Structures are given as structure tokens and as C-alpha cells.
Chains A and B, each alone.
Chain A
Amino acid sequence: TQLLEQSPQFLSIQEGENLTVYCNSSSVFSSLQWYRQEPGEGPVLLVTVVTGGEVKKLKRLTFQFGDARKDSSLHITAAQPGDTGLYLCAGAWYNQGGKLIFGQGTELSVKP
């Protein structure tokens, strides 16, 4: 069974702090995506990474794909209350149809 371990599961921080969320697996992924989900809504795609060692930036969010394509991280600089939500990583393989394997999610709360 292919698993994607995401940590931490819960994170409560003050506005202005930095944070990092990790996704780790023993499996190699063809691609990995990060989503953000607000309560009562569907996940919204933030970024896709496909190349080992790739780094992508989205304003204050920095995403990194591990060199071996088994792990990824999401770093948020100077978190704001609007960053509050559930962050999900999801891995995929080109030879397994459209199946995404999701991590357990990280519930982030940023307090003003």
C-alpha cells in the first residue's frame, strides 16, 4: 500500500510566524500536488511539482519536491489569518490511472 505521511496534523500559530508542512513517502511519485481546502468547500489546487529538487513559489508559499521525488514540503512565510485552512498533499503516478494518494492533511489556524 502506498502511503503519504503528512505532518504536522494540526498547527496553530500567530500571525507573522513561519511554518513548514511535510509530506513523506517510501514511494516515488511521478508528480505531487498541494491543495488548500476551506470548511464546506472543495480543495483548491495550489501547485504541482514533477521534477526532483524542484522549488516553486506562490507569493509567501514555497513548495519543494525532494530530489528522489519521495517527499515534499510547503513553507509559509509570515503567515496571515487568511492562510487558515486544511492543506493536503497528493501524490500521483503516471502508470496508475488518475489515482491520487492524499496525505492526512494539516489543519492550519493562524490567529491575528
Chain B
Amino acid sequence: DAMVIQNPRYQVTQFGKPVTLSCSQTLNHNVMYWYQQKSSQAPKLLFHYYDKDFNNEADTPDNFQSRRPNTSFCFLDIRSPGLGDAAMYLCATSRDLPKLAEPHNEQFFGPGTRLTVL
């Protein structure tokens, strides 16, 4: 089955210790997104890749970086995690970006990685 896979499902790191979360997709979608979701809140978009084109949200801290080495994989790097970065991190994909003729923006989410910062 085509899907969005995230590894690991649970990640524990220490304050200030760099951590990398990974996402892979078998949907062959052009767009990959990273969201941060804190408890009982809606997901918050950090950035997205349209093919190799990186798009950062204005309020995403510099502490968060991303890499997309190929169509299938995308990584979220947190350079110096703080206690406030503890959250669920969700990866999502969409076939393309919405256009006037095709305005829908169906995004398919992975199961998420729960990050704990000690």
C-alpha cells in the first residue's frame, strides 16, 4: 500500500543535542510537509518542499532545518532542541500544489514522531 512512513515513532533526546527525524513516502508525491503539533492543538506548518524547492514558514525558528535528498525522503533536523520543542512531528505529502483549475490540497499524513526532550 502506498503510504507515508515516519521513523522513529518515538524519539527521546537531551536538551541541546541535535536530532533528526525522517519521513519517506511511496506515493511519488511532489510536495512534502513538516508540521509540529503540541498536545490538544492543531498542526502547525514548519516548512514544505515542492520537489527540491524549499519553502520556510516565516515564524519557523532557525533551530529547525530540513533536507530532501530525493523524491521519497525528507528529514527534519532540530539543531539544538529545547524543552519547548517537545511535540508530535508530522510529515505529510500532496501530489501537487493547488492551482486555480485544481484547487484542492489533499494532504496525506504519516503517523508522526513523538519527540521528548529531557
Q: Which residues of A contact B (CB under 8 A)?
A: 30-31, 33, 35, 40-45, 48, 50, 88, 90, 92-95, 97-100, 102-105, 107
Contacts and interface: CB of A to CB of B under 8 A. Distances in A.
A93 B99 CA distance: 8
A44 to B, nearest CB: 7
A33 B99 CA distance: 16
B41 A105 contact: yes
Interface residues of B, number: 33
B112 A33 contact: no
Interface stretch (B11-19, B60-68, B72-80, B100-108): B100-108
Contacts, number: 83
12 contacts: A33-B105, A33-B106, A40-B111, A42-B90, A43-B43, A45-B106, A48-B104, A50-B104, A94-B102, A95-B100, A98-B31, A99-B57
A105 B112 contact: no
B100 A105 contact: no
Interface string B31-75: 101000000111101001010000101000000000000000000
